[in-house]
Amino acid sequence: MEQGSTSATPATSAAPSAATPPGAAPAVAGVAERARPGLAERTTDTLERSWRPVALLFACFAAWWAISATRLVEPYLVPSPGTTLRVMGDKAGYLWQHTWVTTYETLLGFVIAVVVGVFAAVVMVYSSTVERTLYPVLLFAQVVPKIAIAPLFVVWLGFGIAPKIVIAVLIAFFPVVISMVTGLKAVDPEMIELSATMGAGPLQTFAKIRFPASLPHLFAGLKVAVTLAVTGAVVGEFVGANKGLGYVILQANGNLDTPMLFAGLLVMSVIGVVLFVLVEIAEKLLLPWHASHRRDAATTTY
Amino acid sequence: MTMAEETLAEPAAARSGPGDGAAVDLDDVAVRFRTKKKDVTALRQVSLSVAMGEFVAIVGPSGCGKSTLLKLVAGLLRPSAGDVRLRGEAVTGPRRDIGYVFQRAALLEWRSARRNILLQAEMRRMPGAEARKRADELIDMTGLRGFEDAYPHELSGGMQQRVALCRALLHRPPVLLMDEPFGALDALTREQMNIELNRIWRETGTTVLLVTHSIAEAVYLADRVVVMSARPGTVVEIIEVGLPAERDYAETMAREEFSAATTRIRRLLGAASGAE
């Protein structure tokens, strides 16, 4: 008799969870669908977030302008912002041409550094023999001051684009390798075991679990690497070049043409900032799920 | 038993013989770990046979090698001595004809609940339409409906564990291995998950090996409860629970068989850890 009563009751106890009819509109208690915020709302949101850094930038310009306007420093040492901007406007073609060269070298160096760095990291993570062999060499390549060996590359590779790219690669490579190795090693070991019970081969595990899981770490490295790549390209231009922003700055310095020097510096910083922002945008598009981008995702109280 | 055979969706798994009764068979198994400074014996002289379609719970003090036991069955670890057989076949490497659930849900952060469940299908290269249909079935069965497009960080611990359970059941594994699956959940959610697991077990006919710290959970869910000693772990006693397969939670708790079994296990565990 007791058997009979037990078999009758579970049906009711299990009912609440199983009651949702399949295929029905997902009406979950306490969850209300809401429309996406409109364009106006998003614009004010963006402004709200971005006015502070813009204001700080303007404050810096104002301070610079005040210093040069009150003649605290001689104009041939620090030109006024007005003069600098005028030079940028007047010599836009000349600056643009050299900016393009530096950007090109930076990007090429960065891309090569990423490809080689990611590949080296993957090989090192999958083979401890390779890791033990390669790590000291990598570290050595990193601690040698790139500026000190830059002239050597000019001797070896000439005045063309090659030595700039080599230096950019050398300088940007290290953060990529380190971040990728960390990322690949930070994968949940249970996830790897689970993947083994799913019958996944090493390639599948890499493509579906290890690689995506390492991307947040990789992007941290990429952001460092892309700014360093600019430095690398300019260092390459300093030691021997007839084009590029490094050459522009060196020329301007020799001619005591400080407005042009400052213009070069400004453009160079802009390249770095733009590339950094591009990497950050790529990160946001590729990793919307990562904790660092959840600021205004779904869960806030209201 | 026939139910367990019927649930085999995979032709690759189906060819592995008749299974002749035992889903899992451990024969005088020992596991020793070697670390830099010491050798640890995790398991010794463990023999256990689990029939097809049976629900076996394993309880024991912390660090007695319960999880190690499951990893042996899954082929994630090799025994130092003895034989491990899964459905009549010697286990030599990671086995695909199982479902595995860990204490932590171990979900991929960048996949929605449904796509986390479907990972199993992708890795196994199961036909897409069939896998999606099965995923829908499981989503309904575990009460995940309405949350299937949520990302893991938007789900509660209980919901995450449901997703992990769905993922483990997607390919209709003949054997389900669960390593403290509800250990990180609060008491209420845990009870509810127990009720659901009992129902899912009855509906699927899967053989289940469950490692747990909760004596009540073990007795409520299992046909037999394996009680293990502290390290080096070995089987102290196997207790037949003797409750019907279909169990109402509150009513089962009040039954004599239930209290007899829990009392017996408590006494054994007290003695087992006291002996150390």
Three-state DSSP class for residue A280: helix
Chain A residues closer than 8 Å to B76 by CB:
193, 196-197
B253 closest CA partner among B224, B215, B220:
B220
**Both tokens assigned to A241:** 């070049």
Q: Name the residue with higher pLDDT: B134 or B21.
A: B134
Q: pLDDT above 90 covers what percent of chain A?
A: 39
Q: pLDDT above 70 covers what percent of chain B?
A: 90
Residue A205 lies in a domain: yes
CA distance linking residue A60 with residue A49, whole number of Å: 19
- How many CB atoms are located within 10 Å of the residue B95 CB? 24
Kind of pairing between the strands at B89-90 and B81-86: antiparallel
Residue A104 lies in a domain: yes
The answer to whether B248 contacts A197, with C-beta atoms less than 8 Å apart, is no
Residue A189 lies in a domain: yes
The answer to whether A28 contacts B74, with C-beta atoms less than 8 Å apart, is no
Residue A153 lies in a domain: yes
- Residues contacting A87, CB < 8 A, separation 6+: A259, A260, A262, A263
How close B124 comes to chain A (CA, Å)? 6
B121 closest CA partner among B158, B87, B96, B90:
B96
Alpha helix segments (H runs only) across chain B: 2-6, 11-14, 66-74, 113-124, 128-141, 157-169, 187-204, 215-221, 249-253, 256-274
The answer to whether A209 contacts B98, with C-beta atoms less than 8 Å apart, is no
The answer to whether A198 contacts B102, with C-beta atoms less than 8 Å apart, is no
Phi-psi sector, A44: left (phi>0), alpha (psi -120 to 50), beta: alpha
Residue A79 lies in a domain: no
Confidence check: pLDDT of A9 > 70: no
Q: Average pLDDT for residues A267-281, to the nearest whole number? A: 92
In the block, tokens 């029939």 appear at: B51
Confidence check: pLDDT of A173 > 70: yes
- Helix (H) / strand (E) containing B235: strand B235-240
Residue A186 lies in a domain: yes
Residue A215 lies in a domain: yes
| Cβ of residue A214 closer than 8 Å to a chain B Cβ | no
Per-residue DSSP letters for B26-45? EEEEEEEEE-SS-EEEEEEE
Confidence check: pLDDT of B15 > 50: no
The answer to whether B146 contacts A27, with C-beta atoms less than 8 Å apart, is yes
> What's the domain count of chain A?
1
**Selected residues 207-266 of chain B with any CB under 8 Å from a CB in chain A:** 244, 246-249, 251-252, 255
CA distance linking residue A86 with residue A90, whole number of Å: 6
Q: Name the residue with higher pLDDT: A105 or A201.
A: A105
At residue A48, the pLDDT reads: 84
Q: Average pLDDT for residues B165-177, to the nearest whole number? A: 88
Query: CA Rg, chain A, in Å?
Result: 28
Answer yes or no: are the C-beta atoms of A109 and A164 closer than 8 Å.
yes
Residue span of the structural domain in which A227 resides:
88-287
At residue A27, the pLDDT reads: 55
Which amino acid would we find at residue B167?
R
Which amino acid would we find at residue A266?
L
What is the residue-averaged pLDDT of chain B?
81
Domains of chain B (ranges; CATH) run 2-22+51-76+173-274 (3.40.50.300), 107-172 (no CATH)
Residue A13 lies in a domain: no
CA distance linking residue A74 with residue A69, whole number of Å: 10
* A201, HSE (Cβ side, Cα atoms, 13 Å): 2
From residue B234, how far is each of B26, B76, B226, B229, B254 by CA, in Å?
12, 20, 10, 6, 30
ipTM over 0.90: no
Which amino acid would we find at residue B111?
R
How close A279 comes to chain B (CA, Å)? 19
Phi-psi sector, A158: left (phi>0), alpha (psi -120 to 50), beta: left
Q: What is the pLDDT of residues B94-127, one digit of tens each?
A: 888 888 998 888 888 888 888 999 888 888 888 8
Instruction: Look up the pTM and report it.
Output: 0.77
Three-state DSSP class for residue B78: coil
Q: What is the pLDDT of residues B132-157, one digit of tens each?
A: 888 888 888 777 888 888 888 888 88
Domain harbouring A130, CATH code = 1.10.3720.10
Q: What is the pLDDT of residues B193-220, one digit of tens each?
A: 888 888 888 888 889 999 988 888 888 8
